[in-house]
Structure 1
Amino acid sequence: MAKRSKIEGLPPAVKAWLDAALVEGNFSGYEQLAAELKKRGFDIGKSSIHRYGSQFEERLATLKLASQQAKAIVDAAPDEEGAVSEALMRLVQEKLFQVMLDFQVDPKKPLNIASAAKAIAELSRATVGQKKWLAEVREKARTAAEAVTQVAKKGGLSAEAVDTIRREILGIAG
């Protein structure tokens, strides 16, 4: 079994400080960080901090890229009907399915089957919930459109004006 990282064993407050210091220092200054940790009572070498920092920097860069891409997608294609959420859920479902298909026991990267199954179940519930919400929104829009149509007809609006109002409520491109 692989040796557990000393950094992973740090108390949460010290680890949080180290993470913040790594980000603030642009993932450099490992000797100073090792010296500061030693002052705090933790003997962790600069090489260990560098290994941890490199992994942390890579994860942080991946998260930043994903956040930027998600923001760009939302900005480019507003999601009134939940299409982006649905697409995201499908991508996650596909990724989880692929992980399950490719599952191999690797002592360095253990896969927690229970956590994966829980993630799949939660994703399925989210998918069902999103579809239910979308159906409810569409039904409310149809009901509102019908009510407005009746009021507009009684008020003497032209058929064209009534149709325009109805299309706006339902979000139908004209």
Structure 2
Amino acid sequence: MPPPRKVDLLPEEQKTWLKDALKAGGFAGYEQLADDLNARLEDAGITLRIGKSALHTFGKEYSEFVRYQEEASAWAADWMKDNGLEEEAQRHNVLFQMITTLAFKVMQHQMTQTGENISPQELHFLGRMLKDVMSSSGIRQKLLADERKRVAEEATKAERERVAVAMDGAIAEAGLSAELASDLRAKVLGVSR
């Protein structure tokens, strides 16, 4: 197993600063960024030093990660909006981003491998994870469709009851026979009383 990259050895605070600086600088200016990072490390009493080429490699990977994450977020928001799941989209956004990030990391790792180093097991797990996400969205759609159907049925039942009460009042005012009233209810409401 290869040794960890120097960027991966950065304390979390410095790594967060580096990511923010990369975004703010438009993923450019690596020489100045290396000088700034190394000065921060020195001020913090950390002996680790990172060169611009290592930062460039990390910056390129992180840029792709940010782009994929933004695309995945935009796609997820659009998809959920198109399917009437705006509120649910807000609740599930964090989970979806975490899954997307994990999938990206696995794909990124596999893209750097060659031949026998490619792990079929990792690819299998990635495929299974994506399948589960897609399956979950199908289940969610079915639950929403069932809920919409239930609400529509309740509204129909309430409307029939309202019409039945109105018919009973009209029948009483008209003084119709019980047999004629029953026939009218059956024709109008589709039920007998």
Structure-1-length-normalised TM-score: 0.58
Which of 79, 88, 92 is the equivalent residue of 2:84?
79
Which of 59, 74, 87 is the equivalent residue of 1:53?
59
**Which structure has the higher relative contact order (CA within 8 Å, separation 6+)?**
1
Structure 2 partner of 1:154: 164
Within a 5 Å distance, the mapping from 1:15-34 to structure 2 comes to 15-34=15-34
Which of 1 and 2 has greater Rg? 2
Matches of 2:147 and 2:62, distance apart in 1: 42
Structure 2 partner of 1:170: none
Matched, 1:14 2:42: no
Structure 2 partner of 1:144: 154
Matches of 1:5 and 1:125, distance apart in 2: 37
Matches of 2:10 and 2:55, distance apart in 1: 12
Higher helix share: 2
Identity of aligned residues (%): 25
Change (3 A) 1:60 1:124: closer
Deviations 1:21-73 (A, max 9, x none): 00011111211221122221330000000111011112212222333344455
What value does the CA root-mean-square deviation take over the aligned residues?
A: 4.2
Matches of 1:110 and 1:5, distance apart in 2: 25
Matched, 1:62 2:72: no
Structure-2-length-normalised TM-score: 0.53
- In structure 2, the gaps of 5 or more residues are 90-95, 108-114, 168-187, 189-193
Offset of 1:17 from its aligned partner?
Answer: 0.7
Amino acid at match of 2:150: K
Amino acid at match of 2:26: N
- In structure 1, the gaps of 5 or more residues are 163-174
